Structure 1
Amino acid sequence: MTLKETILGKTNLKVKTLGFGGIPIQRVSEEEAIQVVKRCYDLGINYYDTARGYTNSEERIGKALEDVRENVILATKSHRRNSEGIVEELETSLKNLRTNY
């Protein structure tokens, strides 16, 4: 399967036109979640969307993609509405996703 690429907004980041959403992997075992995410990567998906509110989705995506981090685009979200809260959540998300960017 060959996935088409597109530019993500005004970022100049190239992403496939099919991405992965992290909600479903919170409902399966950690082992199965990691297998699913790795399989998506193997199939060419390079954009992964998650959120702090998706229970353990960030941690599972982080574990699955830690070794290929430089090849993927990670997106997460926060429900916080002030700068201190957003910074706090961002730091937690970076830790969960096993990345520093």
Structure 2
Amino acid sequence: MSTENRDSAGRVVIVLDAGTDEGYRTARALLADGCRVVATDRHAAALVRILHDQPADRLLLLAADDSQHNLVQAKAKARFGRVDSVIRPAGLPLALSA
């Protein structure tokens, strides 16, 4: 029996600044809801704690800042096939470029 939220399951979400405490909580909550997560932060070491006890096939960790948005999207699409949304730790979605 799955506990995943049917609306979230399988969605691909980029979490910016995921190395912060709020970003960590956001990424982990999305993973718990069944999303595939691309977690970014300027410092790769800050992202490692997100990986603990998580399936590696649903998580991509990238060292990147906001200026590398196109690169992050390209890597996310290469890994997961699409990007459904981009979230800052505050939880506000960002518009995706076409």
TM-score tier, shorter chain, comes to 0.3 to 0.5
Question: Which structure would you say has the larger RCO, counting Cα contacts within 8 Å and 6 or more residues apart?
Answer: 2
State which structure, 1 or 2, has the greater radius of gyration over its C-alpha atoms: 1
Name the TM-score, length of structure 2 as normaliser: 0.42
Name the TM-score, length of structure 1 as normaliser: 0.41
Q: Which has the larger share of strand?
A: 2
Q: Which has the larger share of helix?
A: 1
